[in-house]
Amino acid sequence: MKLRSVLFSLLLLSAGGCSRSGPEQVLSTAELIRRWADPLQAARLDVPDTTLLSSVDPSGKNDDYNHPLRKGPEGWVVLADLEGPGYMSRFWFTGAENGQHRIRLYFDGERKPSVDTTLDGFCGGADPWRHPLAAYENYCWFNLVPIPFRKRLVVMVQEGGFKPGGWPRLFFQINFSRLPPGMTTEEFRGTYSPEVVAEILRVRDAWVAGGLAPVPDGCEARESTLTLQPGEGADGLDVAGPAMIRQLTVTPDYGPIGDAVAREKLGRQLALQVRWNDSDAPSVETPLGDFFGQVWRRVRFPSMFFTLTNDSYVSRFPMPFEKRARVRIENQSGQPVTVSVRADVQSLPAWEAGWGYLHAHWSRTTAQDVGKPHPILLAEGAGKYVGCILAVMSEDRSWWILEGDEQMYADGAAAPKWRGTGLEDYFNGGWYYQNVIARPLHGVPFKSFFRVVQYRLHLLDATKFGKSFRMDFERGPDQASRGAMESVAWYYLAAPAAAGSALGTALGRTPPRDPLAEATVMNELLNYERFGDYRGAREYIEAFLQMHSKFPKAALLRLRELAYRERLEGFDVVRPEYERFAAEETDPEAVEQAKLLLWFHEDPSHVLVSLSSTAPARALLDGQEAVTAGRPERAVVKGATAGPGRHALALHTLWSPYPSWLQAAVRTHEGLVVTSPDWKYKFRPAESWGATDYDDSGWPAVGGTGTKGPPEEPFIWMEPNGFVDLQSQAVGLRANDEVWPDKRGFFVFRRVFERP
């Protein structure tokens, strides 16, 4: 879509907030969907405000559940009763017993709901509300597809709190926007026209691909290369307006920096500043890496507005400006650094008041700030807040710090206009997250024990303000959690203003020290693997071994680094290194694993079988025992033979107390077979359950999303090994205690697969 037509459609939505004579302008559902996926929407100030309804505890305590708007018909509660015209931009929910918990949507006073389905159906299980636009992930249900309503929308769910302990505990958040006078929506009754379905599918395809918006045709590349001495800063770009930066790319030259730790520190030691028009104060002022979503260390993951490609930091936040844009890099490291800066610039025919200027504010608090919330943003002027990335590390060795709610205040009001139900809830997760994940508008790019980085970006659900804005995150309940919080807030203002970031010195921006680093090294490597960032995993091993030179499992990490090279460069390239490692290494466990990796490549029928479990367990491949396990910190990997044809992997486990899991994988020459929620299971099945031709058609699927781990506290430590992907791609399965009557007997999980 051309820029001029995009502006025209956006201005139709805004209507300046003034009443109109004549017929109302109708916002079509197809156009609403298009705007939801249009990155230019982020930079527009003439858009509707967003309101949050949530189950927050009205007493101010931490019981943020079972607080609906009101009672509904018997067995039902009303979560929201919204006056139109407008649209619901986000539905988020957790605490139900399972995805069969029902939800109803009533439009425009109808007596029979147009949408009467289950949480699973509304959140990923039915067209067009499919993953990743709507899903059950990280223990929460959400639907981010905009749902319009002309006069009224009532959202109901089955009630909670009728079982001991107040279960089901219904946590919810609903975001909605009202259209301005003179605007209305199409009538909507829960089903979409073919045109709208096509738009949703187009968006879904883009989200599946990562969601990074492409640079439009017609942009002019402006670029320069700076060589900065320690303590030196310089403008890399000075661009005349009116124009818009559609992509900003900054690429440090890491080649001359031979020290792995120094390379990782550079993202915090270089500072980024952006000034608009003739302002002397930077409106963007952050550590370089943090602005591009790279907090603490580099991780290559996709989002709609920022990413890391090879060594290039990329931002796709639209950056319109009227007169001038200056991009400055400051080198606060101890060595000379060469940095390339590039902007893809789109000319604007004229400046329009509907555009906002991008701002970015960096904030840091520490354990010394107990008793006070973490400030995400304090801004003056008119504008809108469009999201943040937040890094959290607890010094209490607890996830309790994530129990803090977010609060937003606008225009000097004493009461918050937005109050959430928990830190992870704001980021579309819950229950301290399951694992790392990256979606276009939200994600968890890093999670280890009691440390986590998360982001959320508001495209169609931004919060507006006319004079001032403040956003805080509570430091856990009662502001009592000790820990570090670091954040970048992105926001747009009608006029350039100072970002107000207190960057201090590069030394003062050193990421908080992790006392559990040696215990969690494997967990952090699995994070990289889940994103397919094998290069990042190699870089982390190099930096880790430099900082922990006496780590007792160093040989296994060096072997794993070779396995990452195999993924990146192919086995033929790395084979001599494997052979040299097996011949020269003195650690017998590392030698044994290197030989097993070489054996795997000797014959296409060779496979590797991995198993880890908190209870005594065994894996049978085609009825033959392949591997046994029972120590939660150790994944046991053995070789087996499985030629072309049909095969069955069956897992036998005894009971163990929570937290418990069983995790397995088979690596073949075509790929992986891993434990996942679609595996079948049964308590104490009949004999021969391991046989390939055993009839398991009556067995149910595990369902859900699997366990939080492995590992899961208190089992923090995972022994390193040389077998890439076997643990990161597998989900931990847990036997259902409700169908395990007396903790005796055994459970079997089973999967059939084919080899060509």
Nearest to 232 by CA among 313, 328, 327, 324: 328
Same domain, 597 and 613: no
The single residue listed with the structure tokens 């608090």 is 365
pLDDT at 4: 36
- Assess if residue 465 is contained within a domain: yes
pLDDT per residue as tens digits for the range 709-753:
899 989 999 999 999 999 999 999 988 777 787 888 899 999 999
For residues 33-42, one letter each, b for 16 or more C-beta atoms within 10 angstroms of the residue's C-beta and e for the rest, the string is: bbbbbbbbbb
Q: How many Å separate Cα 39 from the centre of its chain?
A: 18
- Assess if residue 181 is contained within a domain: yes
Over 70: is that where the pLDDT of 433 sits?
A: yes
Over 90: is that where the pLDDT of 13 sits?
A: no
Over 50: is that where the pLDDT of 16 sits?
A: no
Same domain, 499 and 534: no
Q: Cis check for the bond before 85: say yes or no (omega within 30 of 0).
A: yes
Nearest to 104 by CA among 151, 41, 157: 157
Nearest to 246 by CA among 345, 162, 156, 313: 345
Helix axes 3-14, 29-36, angle to 10 degrees: 110
Q: How many Å separate Cα 87 from the centre of its chain?
A: 24
Same domain, 651 and 735: yes
Return left, alpha or beta for 569; rule: phi > 0 is left, psi -120 to 50 is alpha, else beta: alpha
Q: Return mean pLDDT, the chain.
A: 93
Max CA pair span of the chain? 85
pLDDT at 741: 75
Distance between CA 143 and CA 428 in Å, rounded? 10
- Assess if residue 237 is contained within a domain: yes
Q: 602, 619, 641: which is the final residue of a domain? A: 602
Distance between CA 665 and CA 611 in Å, rounded? 7
The single residue listed with the structure tokens 């977010």 is 406
- End-to-end distance of the chain based on CA atoms, in angstroms? 45
Same domain, 634 and 747: yes
Distance between CA 180 and CA 34 in Å, rounded? 19
- Assess if residue 278 is contained within a domain: yes
pLDDT at 424: 96
pLDDT per residue as tens digits for the range 529-543:
999 999 999 999 999
Counted domains in the chain: 4
- In the structure encoding, which two tokens stand for residue 652, read together? 């036998």
Work out the pLDDT band at 680, boundaries 50, 70, 90. very high
Quick check: helix, strand or coil at residue 179? Answer: coil
DSSP codes joined into one string, 133-166: TEEEETTEEEE-S-EEESSEEEEEEE----BGGG
Tell me the CATH number at 665: 2.60.120
Tell how strand 324-331 and strand 270-276 pair up.
Answer: antiparallel
Over 50: is that where the pLDDT of 10 sits?
A: no
Tell how strand 284-287 and strand 357-365 pair up.
Answer: parallel
Work out the pLDDT band at 331, boundaries 50, 70, 90. very high
pLDDT at 3: 43
Over 70: is that where the pLDDT of 481 sits?
A: yes
C-alpha gyration radius of the chain: 27
Over 60: is that where the pLDDT of 147 sits?
A: yes
The single residue listed with the structure tokens 């990256």 is 438
Q: Which domain holds residue 32?
A: 3-208
- Assess if residue 213 is contained within a domain: no
Over 90: is that where the pLDDT of 402 sits?
A: yes
E strands, 474-605, in order: 483-493
Helices (H), 93-246: 119-122, 194-208
Over 80: is that where the pLDDT of 573 sits?
A: yes
What's phi and psi for 486, nearest 5 deg? -135, 140
Tell me the CATH number at 140: 2.60.120.1390
> Which position has the higher pLDDT, 277 or 704?
277
pLDDT at 56: 95
Same domain, 202 and 83: yes
pLDDT at 347: 96
pLDDT per residue as tens digits for the range 287-303:
999 999 999 999 999 89
pLDDT at 686: 87
Same domain, 435 and 335: yes
pLDDT at 22: 59
Same domain, 156 and 123: yes
Give mean pLDDT, residues 177-199.
Answer: 92
Same domain, 541 and 577: yes
Over 80: is that where the pLDDT of 482 sits?
A: yes
Same domain, 554 and 626: no
- Assess if residue 214 is contained within a domain: no
Same domain, 194 and 316: no
Percent of the chain with pLDDT over 90: 88
pLDDT per residue as tens digits for the range 498-515:
999 999 999 999 999 999
Q: How many Å separate Cα 242 from the centre of its chain?
A: 34
Q: How many Å separate Cα 638 from the centre of its chain?
A: 33
Over 60: is that where the pLDDT of 17 sits?
A: no
pLDDT at 739: 73
Strand (E) or helix (H) holding 13: helix 3-14
Q: Decide: 508 and 365 in contact? Cβ < 8 Å.
A: no
- Assess if residue 745 is contained within a domain: yes
Quick check: helix, strand or coil at residue 742? Answer: coil
Q: Please give the model's pTM, rounded to 2 decimal places.
A: 0.94
- Assess if residue 559 is contained within a domain: yes
Distance between CA 743 and CA 729 in Å, rounded? 29
Distance between CA 733 and CA 679 in Å, rounded? 9
Q: 602, 635, 660: which is the final residue of a domain? A: 602
Q: What are the residues facing 271 on neighbouring strands?
A: 287, 330
CA-CA distances (angstroms) from residue 259 to 27, 74, 254, 263, 334?
56, 66, 9, 6, 12
Work out the pLDDT band at 404, boundaries 50, 70, 90. very high
Same domain, 572 and 619: no
Distance between CA 172 and CA 104 in Å, rounded? 14
Q: 509, 529, 548: which is the final residue of a domain? A: 509
CA-CA distances (angstroms) from residue 148 to 72, 86, 460?
22, 6, 12
Over 60: is that where the pLDDT of 1 sits?
A: no
- Tell me the one-letter amino acid at 670: E
Over 60: is that where the pLDDT of 477 sits?
A: yes
pLDDT at 9: 40
Handedness of CA 529, 530, 533, 539 (dihedral sign): negative
Same domain, 310 and 350: yes
Quick one: DSSP state of residue 739? G
